[in-house]
Structure 1
Amino acid sequence: MTHALDRSEQHQIIASLTEGVILVTPDHRIAWANAAALAMHGVDRLEDLGGSVDGYRDRFVLRYRNHHPLGLDRYPLERAATGEVFEDVYVDVTRAGGASPAESWTHRIRSLVTAGPGGRPESHVLIVQDVTAQFEAEMRFERTFAANPAPAVICRLADLRYVRLNEGFSELTGFDADAVIGRTLYEVDVLAGAERRELAIARLKEGRTIPQMEARLRGAGGGERAVIVAGQPIEIADDPCMLFTFADLEPRRAAETALRASEERFETAFRLAPVPMLVARRDGFGLLSLNQAFTAAFGHGPEALGRAPGDLGLWVDEGARAAFERDLLRTGRIAGAETCLRPREGGERDCLVSAETVTIAGEACVLCALQDITGRKRSERELIAAIDAVMADTSWFSRAVIERLAGLRQPGRGAPDARLDALTARERQVLGLICQGLSDAAIGKRLSLARNTVRNHVAALYRKLGLHRRSEAVIWGRERGFPAQGFEGGETPGPGRP
């Protein structure tokens, strides 16, 4: 014997459902709702739903998911009351006057009609599901997807049609949304020219991850770009999809081409440079490359590659070599260091050595250039020897000649300086008194000049000599023979003045 459920038992069963259930009568009254339906509207009592279709409209504002408002006669509750049966209507529900997110929900609604004895429609039922969390997650994904700078498109697996693309994809290909959405993967083939296309297609059909691979992506203008493409299975609105992401290889390839061209130009310039040059590893200073001028000057060729300059005995003074390498590692650059080097066949050569740390083919290196000054140093030594011989008997030389020869003999002190010749007699007087430690006022008194006039002479001195402070002027003048002895009102003697 079967047991027919009475209305009370039916309500108990329905009340326990997680889906919301609302019963509405043909005269538009809300007859009953379970606890789930009340919670989905943020209320606790049946009367808080409004009691009728009109009351419900007064208390809740509904919009379709495309944000279009529903007409008053299109509220799901209104449609259910008229006996209409529909499936999966998605609406945003907001409490009238509500402003907080807690007073807004997203509902998926369907309706059905229950029949009573004799098949007469008895109850019109609205079944509600709260899908707020699902749509909020999809909205977060949509925002993240749109903001992602990496080009991306989403393809629905059921029919292989595109359902989403972001701005990065449009910028990469020139396609806008209208040109892609709804088209199939074979119409806009993002796997064209993929190095493992068969694997990618097989994984796509299986809904599995597509590993990264190079491909040729055709743009709206018909051109192609080299890209890396990968696919990741995802779900969009419960539909299995494939998210394709891309990395543009063109900038990297252009950079690699430019780098190769730059390295080729460097190699040519290095090889043909008229001065001896070498490239060594920064770590350990093992030689990587020698140019033709270095081989011609020092005799070392390809057999020296891999060895350090210290192993070749290139430096005459090993202490100087160690100091040079230490300073180079510390500062990254050395310009014009004077040292003595030894060619392979023997002997010594005076050189100026300049070096700088550089990166070549991704490796930290040292680029070193040498200038042979052996001839110049020999000429200087011969000149100094001649001066020493001449100055052994200077009785017939004027003071000016003696001082100039002394300057040549000791280039670090009292060297001839064209700037000194540019000074007027008065400026020489002022410089001599500055070197004696006199102030501007004292100089003015000594020379019977106004203080401003003395300042003008001092400014002219600074400008002509390239100096900036009084102390610099004192050092500069004393190195060149100032102050002179025996000054008393007349012209102050100085270098070049008998």
Structure 2
Amino acid sequence: MATASFETLRETADLRHLRQIIVGLDEGVILIDPDQSLLWANDAALAMHGVNAIHELGATVDEYRSRFQLRYRNNHRLEADDYPIDRVVAGDSFSQVVVEVTVAGEDSPRWVHQVRSLVLNDADDAKPTYLVLIIQDVSARYEAEDRFEQSFNANPAPAVICRLEDLRYVKVNQGFLELAGLARDQVLTKTVYDIDLLRGAERRDLAKERLAEGRTIPQMEAELEVAEGGTKLVIVAGQPIDMEEQSCMLFTFADLEPRRKAQEALRHSEELFTRTFQMAPVAMAIGTRDGHLLCEVNASFSQLTGYSASEIIGKPLTEIGLWESGETRQELETRTDAGQGLRGYEASIHAKDDAIIDCLVATETVRLGENTCVLWAFQDITQRKATELELVEAIEAVMKDTSWFSRSIMDKLARLRTPQPQISSPGLDDLTTRERDVLALICRGYDDKTIARTLDVAANTVRNHVARIYAKSGVHRRIAVVAWARARGFDGESVAIDKPKRETRA
């Protein structure tokens, strides 16, 4: 029956003409007899199945189904009645069915076919003369779409796609879901009116116009609403794309919220620094490392120096003449240029009224915005030094006659005048025997005349010994040399003083 039908169709002039028309088409064409026999296929249809002749497709619909396994794009395998070739035999008319085609015995599909049906009838007979499957190989397109889908989902940059026809979201990746704090079904059931991607955009009207026209939306900042409430600052941009033959808009995002939080934290930190700087009871100033220009001074600095902020800001320290000496200025500038911080550096500065102020200076390199600056701190020690000087003079006046002081009081006075230095060379071993005798008597509180009488030597000799003791100990005052000796465990009490023997004349 199938052979007779095929012979009849083959000898029909119309069929010959039809075959001549379709043989060179890019689309695949398979002719099927109503009795389910496969009659003919053009070269494109054979190539789309990886065969060279019609018999390799199968003589019948059943054989075709056994040689090629079909499933939908959602990985659902087609049942026998759902095969396009079965549906066309059953008289079903369909315009577009997309299936993946796998050769029997293989695991992965080789092609993706887009199939439509056609039923041809004789003019005088309502029954179909033969049935036609028209096939397009859309493997390349769907492979590209698969690659895009994989890339889209794997891309950590947040992205969402809306269909321009109804502005409904059709695809969303994990990056956007995490950014907005939404679930996938909360996005794919919404439109751009429900989830406004352009909220607070700086050029919102332009973006809406470009979206309506399906044109590129340039990058702009916007506020994206998030699930937990509030918004996140983002950069959003739109790029028109075609997806499954539909015009769409791909929106991509860059999360600026960490940057905004960092900027807010920096601004808060700078405001806190400014308030602390202005309220600090210690005189402080901020200057550039390059050029040593003053950028800011606090109220304590103005009170200390007499310079108002308007008089001193923007001027180099050299022009102001803040430092008492050029050597001090040069050393401080050299050290700050090298990035060396100062701690407790003692220096004298000139106030506006030419008063000399003794200060302890400290510096620290700080970053203000894009600039590297130097923070200066000045502690006024003028009064403290004056008090120390008065105390030293009083102690020295008392030490001129110490015969009525106890040894413990003398020790305390010595330590008060000069704190115990760290023991280092030179030491007591550098003194001669006579110098040690003189030092012992100095420690006992004797003046030069008493020492001269005790040692039975001239006063000039004592002064020479004292001068050499000063030179070897590195001090220049009597009370300081006592402190130097006691720091080394020498109090003079245990030293036996030997008087020099006078020569007798014959």
TM-score by length of 2: 0.70
1:340 and 2:348 are equivalent in the alignment: yes
User: Structure 1 counterpart of 2:147, which letter?
Assistant: R
- Aligned partners of 1:23 and 1:125 also within 8 Å: yes
User: Structure 1 counterpart of 2:247, which letter?
Assistant: P
Q: Which stretch shifts more, 374-383 or 238-247?
A: 374-383
1:205 and 2:208 are equivalent in the alignment: no
* Deviation for aligned residue 1:292: 0.7
Alpha-carbon distance change, 99 to 334 in structure 1, aligned in 2, over 3 angstroms:
farther
Separation in 1 of the partners of 2:192 and 2:81?
Answer: 41
Separation in 2 of the partners of 1:404 and 1:496?
Answer: 16
Q: Which stretch shifts more, 42-51 or 20-29?
A: 42-51
Separation in 1 of the partners of 2:167 and 2:284?
Answer: 62
Separation in 2 of the partners of 1:319 and 1:13?
Answer: 104
What corresponds to 1:34 in structure 2?
42
Alpha-carbon distance change, 23 to 279 in structure 1, aligned in 2, over 3 angstroms:
same
Q: Which stretch shifts more, 387-396 or 143-152?
A: 387-396
What corresponds to 2:159 in structure 1?
152
- Aligned partners of 2:219 and 2:235 also within 8 Å: yes
* Deviation for aligned residue 1:309: 1.6
Map 1:302-313; keep pairs closer than 5 Å: 302=309, 303-313=311-321
Q: Which stretch shifts more, 38-47 or 356-365?
A: 38-47
Alpha-carbon distance change, 366 to 49 in structure 1, aligned in 2, over 3 angstroms:
farther
Separation in 2 of the partners of 1:246 and 1:195?
Answer: 15
What corresponds to 2:67 in structure 1?
59
Separation in 2 of the partners of 1:309 and 1:482?
Answer: 45
Q: Which stretch shifts more, 8-17 or 231-240?
A: 8-17
Separation in 1 of the partners of 2:373 and 2:27?
Answer: 71
Separation in 1 of the partners of 2:346 and 2:101?
Answer: 85
2:113 to 88, 107, 110: 107
User: Structure 2 counterpart of 1:112, which letter?
Assistant: L
Map 1:13-92; keep pairs closer than 5 Å: 13-92=21-100
Larger radius of gyration: 2
* Deviation for aligned residue 1:222: 6.7
Separation in 1 of the partners of 2:131 and 2:22?
Answer: 14
Separation in 2 of the partners of 1:481 and 1:95?
Answer: 107
Separation in 1 of the partners of 2:493 and 2:78?
Answer: 108
* Deviation for aligned residue 1:106: 1.9
* Deviation for aligned residue 1:482: 12
User: Structure 2 counterpart of 1:108, which letter?
Assistant: Q
Q: Which stretch shifts more, 143-152 or 263-272?
A: 143-152
1:184 to 180, 187, 191: 191
Alpha-carbon distance change, 96 to 393 in structure 1, aligned in 2, over 3 angstroms:
farther
Alpha-carbon distance change, 390 to 82 in structure 1, aligned in 2, over 3 angstroms:
same
* Deviation for aligned residue 1:273: 0.6
1:230 and 2:230 are equivalent in the alignment: no
* Deviation for aligned residue 1:353: 1.9
2:377 to 366, 369, 384: 369
User: Structure 1 counterpart of 2:117, which letter?
Assistant: S
* Deviation for aligned residue 1:238: 1.4
* Deviation for aligned residue 1:133: 2.3
Q: 1:67 aligns to what SS in structure 2?
A: coil
Q: 2:165 aligns to what SS in structure 1?
A: coil
What corresponds to 2:365 in structure 1?
357
Q: 1:334 aligns to what SS in structure 2?
A: coil
Runs (5+) with no aligned partner, structure 2: 1-11, 425-482, 495-506
Q: Which stretch shifts more, 279-288 or 11-20?
A: 11-20
- Aligned partners of 2:99 and 2:112 also within 8 Å: yes
* Deviation for aligned residue 1:150: 4.2
1:295 and 2:296 are equivalent in the alignment: no
- Aligned partners of 2:100 and 2:113 also within 8 Å: yes
* Deviation for aligned residue 1:411: 5.5
Q: 1:69 aligns to what SS in structure 2?
A: coil
Separation in 2 of the partners of 1:311 and 1:51?
Answer: 105
Q: Which stretch shifts more, 111-120 or 59-68?
A: 111-120
Separation in 1 of the partners of 2:285 and 2:274?
Answer: 11
Alpha-carbon distance change, 378 to 41 in structure 1, aligned in 2, over 3 angstroms:
farther
What corresponds to 2:504 in structure 1?
none
Alpha-carbon distance change, 264 to 29 in structure 1, aligned in 2, over 3 angstroms:
same
* Deviation for aligned residue 1:125: 2.0
Separation in 1 of the partners of 2:274 and 2:167?
Answer: 52
* Deviation for aligned residue 1:208: 1.2
* Deviation for aligned residue 1:185: 2.8
Give me the identity figure in percent.
48
Alpha-carbon distance change, 112 to 226 in structure 1, aligned in 2, over 3 angstroms:
same
User: Structure 2 counterpart of 1:59, which letter?
Assistant: R
Q: 1:284 aligns to what SS in structure 2?
A: coil
Separation in 2 of the partners of 1:481 and 1:19?
Answer: 113
* Deviation for aligned residue 1:207: 0.9
Separation in 2 of the partners of 1:316 and 1:352?
Answer: 14
Q: Which stretch shifts more, 189-198 or 402-411?
A: 402-411
What corresponds to 2:288 in structure 1?
281
Q: 2:324 aligns to what SS in structure 1?
A: coil
Alpha-carbon distance change, 88 to 321 in structure 1, aligned in 2, over 3 angstroms:
farther
What corresponds to 2:271 in structure 1?
264
Q: 1:262 aligns to what SS in structure 2?
A: helix
- Aligned partners of 1:414 and 1:481 also within 8 Å: no
Separation in 2 of the partners of 1:387 and 1:414?
Answer: 24
1:134 to 120, 123, 141: 141
User: Structure 1 counterpart of 2:26, which letter?
Assistant: T
Q: Which stretch shifts more, 311-320 or 290-299?
A: 311-320
Alpha-carbon distance change, 262 to 115 in structure 1, aligned in 2, over 3 angstroms:
same
- Aligned partners of 1:49 and 1:56 also within 8 Å: yes
Q: 1:202 aligns to what SS in structure 2?
A: helix
Runs (5+) with no aligned partner, structure 1: 416-478, 485-492
Q: Which stretch shifts more, 48-57 or 282-291?
A: 48-57
* Deviation for aligned residue 1:299: 1.9
- Aligned partners of 1:400 and 1:497 also within 8 Å: no
* Deviation for aligned residue 1:276: 0.5
TM-score by length of 1: 0.71
- Aligned partners of 2:420 and 2:487 also within 8 Å: no
Separation in 1 of the partners of 2:203 and 2:250?
Answer: 18
Separation in 1 of the partners of 2:259 and 2:304?
Answer: 41
Alpha-carbon distance change, 481 to 305 in structure 1, aligned in 2, over 3 angstroms:
same
- Residue by residue over 1:201-251, the C-alpha shift from the partner in whole angstroms, topping out at 9 and shown as x without a partner, is 322221112234454544556755555443221121111112233455655
* Deviation for aligned residue 1:79: 1.9
* Count of aligned pairs between the two proteins: 422
Q: 2:342 aligns to what SS in structure 1?
A: strand
What corresponds to 2:130 in structure 1?
123
User: Structure 2 counterpart of 1:105, which letter?
Assistant: W
- Residue by residue over 1:437-468, the C-alpha shift from the partner in whole angstroms, topping out at 9 and shown as x without a partner, is xxxxxxxxxxxxxxxxxxxxxxxxxxxxxxxx
C-alpha RMSD of the superposition: 3.9
* Deviation for aligned residue 1:341: 2.3
Q: 1:277 aligns to what SS in structure 2?
A: strand
- Aligned partners of 1:153 and 1:243 also within 8 Å: yes
* Deviation for aligned residue 1:334: 3.4
Separation in 2 of the partners of 1:481 and 1:49?
Answer: 117
